């Protein structure tokens, strides 16, 4: 059959390797030739050693590793038609016309555009004698299936993205670590977590770590938040609590849309209630380390489903993204989910928090 290639693009996340592994093995199981594309779209544009055939053994011993062993990158050339033409040529030369893309909404948008353009790219390659008539006929259509790898859980349509659960584990471990030292010294810890414009990581970790206060982008605090926050801390201390935890989402904003930073929150506390306060920015620690059992299983399930969806894809059918809906793997129209996700960003920019939360839905 026609070749399948799998690649990871955009920011890495834990569980991507499990997804790559499942794609490779399901493809082999179904009798397909399967390839890795290294370094995301950059490897597709550069070709050569970046597009290599995978076998059963080449994905052994990767399921427990964080990040993505086949590399990821951001690629400006792929945003230009000339880059995509080069990529199409490299794929056809290897006999590939099925792609599994693991990435964020940018990567999925790029894949969709590539698919839409594909027949005209093939036409151009043929007219320039880069490919022959046989190749033109055989590779006239590109199938794509997407999976979302992101710790932020900011994609509309899936309950969980690959990497979110591992990031939560890392956050919870880290907050627990600060809690013990905070207890010894009667300190306040402000922990900044990732998530971009999505407060999911902050919300869930705040619940899991018994935080006293939390800032998320979707619900800017009232203007008198400094007073409310200090009251809460004082109340907790009066009740005998020796430490306080505040979870701050990196995208947290006030009512006017201005960022709320760890140092701002610290200043409020130090000035008003004079508690010893420390700011800890967790940063890339959250994206590192071994994937959780949940992310390994999620990657396995989604990877296997992605290959099955590719095998069932018809030229006229819409491209899909593999999603998790109430613990079931389902296929949803890729571009509808991408547009909804972009709609959240737009609603947030317009300070329409309610619309943003509604668009995001259950997840
Ligand atoms: P993350 O959520 O981690 O940022 P992402 O997939 O959204 O992941 P981007 O940097 O937006 O990350 O996209 C990754 C790559 O996908 C880009 O470097 C580019 O090569 C390609 N890409 C993104 N958007 C487009 C587009 N509109 N057209 C063509 N290619 C695109």
**Atom from ligand 1 closest to the CA of residue 74:** 18
| Cα 35 from chain centre | 22
pLDDT score recorded for residue 315 = 86
The rounded distance, in Å, linking the Cα atoms of 262 and 279 is 6
- Tens-place pLDDT, residues 198-242: 999 999 999 999 999 999 999 999 999 999 999 999 999 999 999
pLDDT-derived band at 1, boundaries 50, 70, 90 = low
Residues classed as catalytic = 152
Q: What does the DSSP 8-state code read for residue 14? A: T
pLDDT for 234: 97
Quote the ligand 1 centre to 132 CA distance (angstroms): 31
CA of 141 to the centre of ligand 1 (A): 22
Binding residues for Mg(2+): 105
Q: How high is the mean pLDDT of the chain? A: 96
Distance separating the N- and C-terminal Cα atoms of the chain: 37
Which residue's alpha carbon is at the smallest distance from atom 3 of ligand 1? 11
pLDDT in tens, 292-348: 999 999 999 999 999 999 999 998 889 999 999 999 999 999 999 999 999 999 998
What is the Cα–Cα distance from 218 to 357, expressed in whole angstroms? 7
What is the gyration radius of the CA atoms in the chain, in angstroms?
23
Q: What pLDDT score does 61 carry? A: 98
For the entire predicted model, the pTM comes to 0.95
Cβ neighbors of 43 (< 8 A, separation 6 or more) are 7, 37, 50, 51, 71, 73
**3-class state of residue 277 by DSSP:** strand
Q: Is the pLDDT of residue 363 over 50?
A: no
Q: Kindly report the number of other CB atoms within 10 A of residue 226's CB atom.
A: 16
What confidence tens digit (pLDDT) does each residue in 60-71 have? 999 999 999 999
CA pair distance 139, 141, nearest whole angstrom: 5
Residue 79 alpha carbon to ligand 1 centre in Å: 8
Residue whose CA is at the smallest distance from ligand 1 atom 13: 106
Percentage of the residues of the chain whose pLDDT score is greater than 90: 93
Give me the count of residues in the chain: 363
pLDDT in tens, 108-126: 999 999 999 999 999 999 9
Can you give the pLDDT at residue 162?
Answer: 98
> Cα of 68 to ligand 1 centre, how many Å?
16
Question: Which one, of 19, 55, 274, lies nearest residue 150 by Cα?
Answer: 19
Determine whether 48 is exposed, middle or buried from the number of CB atoms within 10 Å of its CB (0-12, 13-18, 19+).
exposed
Q: Where would I find the H helices in the chain?
A: 16-29, 40-46, 81-93, 105-127, 133-138, 164-185, 200-208, 225-238, 262-273, 293-312, 334-349, 353-360
Task: pLDDT band for 158, please (50, 70, 90 cuts).
Answer: very high
Binding positions: 11, 74-75, 104-107, 150-152, 187, 194-196, 250, 278, 284-287
3-state DSSP assignment of residue 6: strand
Buried b (16+ CB within 10 A) or exposed e, 69-88: bbbbbebeebeeeebbbbbb
Ligand 1 pocket mutation pick from 75, 110, 287 by most atoms within 8 angstroms of CB = 110
**Arithmetic mean of pLDDT, 25-47:** 98
Residue nearest atom 23 in ligand 1 by C-alpha distance? 106
Q: Please determine, for the modelled complex, whether the ipTM score is greater than 0.95.
A: yes
215 membership: H or E segment, kind and range = strand 213-215
Distances (CA, A) of 106 to 9, 93, 167, 235: 9, 26, 21, 45
- Taking the C-alpha atoms of residue 146 and residue 10, their distance in angstroms, rounded to an integer, is 13
- 266-291 pLDDT, tens digit per residue, is 999 999 999 999 999 999 999 999 99
Residue 346 is predicted with a pLDDT of: 92
- What is the DSSP code string of 41-105? HHHHHH-GGGEEE--GGGGTT-TT-SS-TT-----SGGGSHHHHHHHHHHHHHTTEEEEEEEE-H
Do 3 and 98 touch, CB atoms closer than 8 A?
Answer: yes
Q: What lines the ligand 1 site, CB under 6 Å?
A: 9-11, 41, 74-75, 78-79, 103-107, 109-110, 113, 150
């Amino acid at each position: 059959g026609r070749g399948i290639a799998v690649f990871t693009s955009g920011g890495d996340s834990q569980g991507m390797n499990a997804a790559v592994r499942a794609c490779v093995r399901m493809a082999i199981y179904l009798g397909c030739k399967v390839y890795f594309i290294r370094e995301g779209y950059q490897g597709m544009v550069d070709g050569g050693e970046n597009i290599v055939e995978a076998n059963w053994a080449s994905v052994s011993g990767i399921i427990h590793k964080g990040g993505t062993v086949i590399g990821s990158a951001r690629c400006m050339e792929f945003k230009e038609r000339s880059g995509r033409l080069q990529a199409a040529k490299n794929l056809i030369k290897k006999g590939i016309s099925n792609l599994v893309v693991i990435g964020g909404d940018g990567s999925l948008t790029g894949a969709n555009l590539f698919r839409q353009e594909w027949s005209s790219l093939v036409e151009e390659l043929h007219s320039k004698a880069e490919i022959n008539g046989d190749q033109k006929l055989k590779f006239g259509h590109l199938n794509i299936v997407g999976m979302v790898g992101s710790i932020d859980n900011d994609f509309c349509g899936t309950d969980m993205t690959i990497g979110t659960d591992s990031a939560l584990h890392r956050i919870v471990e880290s907050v627990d670590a600060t809690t013990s030292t905070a207890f010894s010294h009667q300190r306040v810890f402000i922990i900044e977590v990732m998530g971009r414009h999505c407060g999911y990581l902050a919300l869930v970790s705040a619940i899991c770590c018994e935080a006293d206060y939390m800032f998320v982008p979707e619900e800017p605090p009232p203007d008198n938040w400094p007073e409310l926050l200090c009251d809460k801390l004082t109340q907790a201390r009066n009740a005998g609590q020796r430490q306080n935890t505040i979870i701050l989402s990196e995208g947290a904003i006030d009512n006017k849309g201005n960022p709320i930073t760890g140092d701002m929150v610290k200043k409020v506390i130090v000035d008003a209630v004079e508690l010893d306060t420390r700011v800890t920015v967790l940063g890339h620690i959250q994206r590192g380390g071994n994937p959780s059992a949940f992310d390994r299983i999620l990657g396995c399930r989604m990877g296997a489903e992605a290959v099955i969806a590719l095998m069932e894809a018809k030229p006229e059918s819409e491209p899909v993204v593999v999603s998790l809906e109430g613990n079931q793997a389902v296929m949803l129209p890729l571009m509808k989910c991408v547009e909804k996700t972009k709609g959240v960003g737009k609603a947030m920019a317009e300070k329409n928090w309610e619309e943003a939360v509604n668009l995001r839905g259950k997840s």
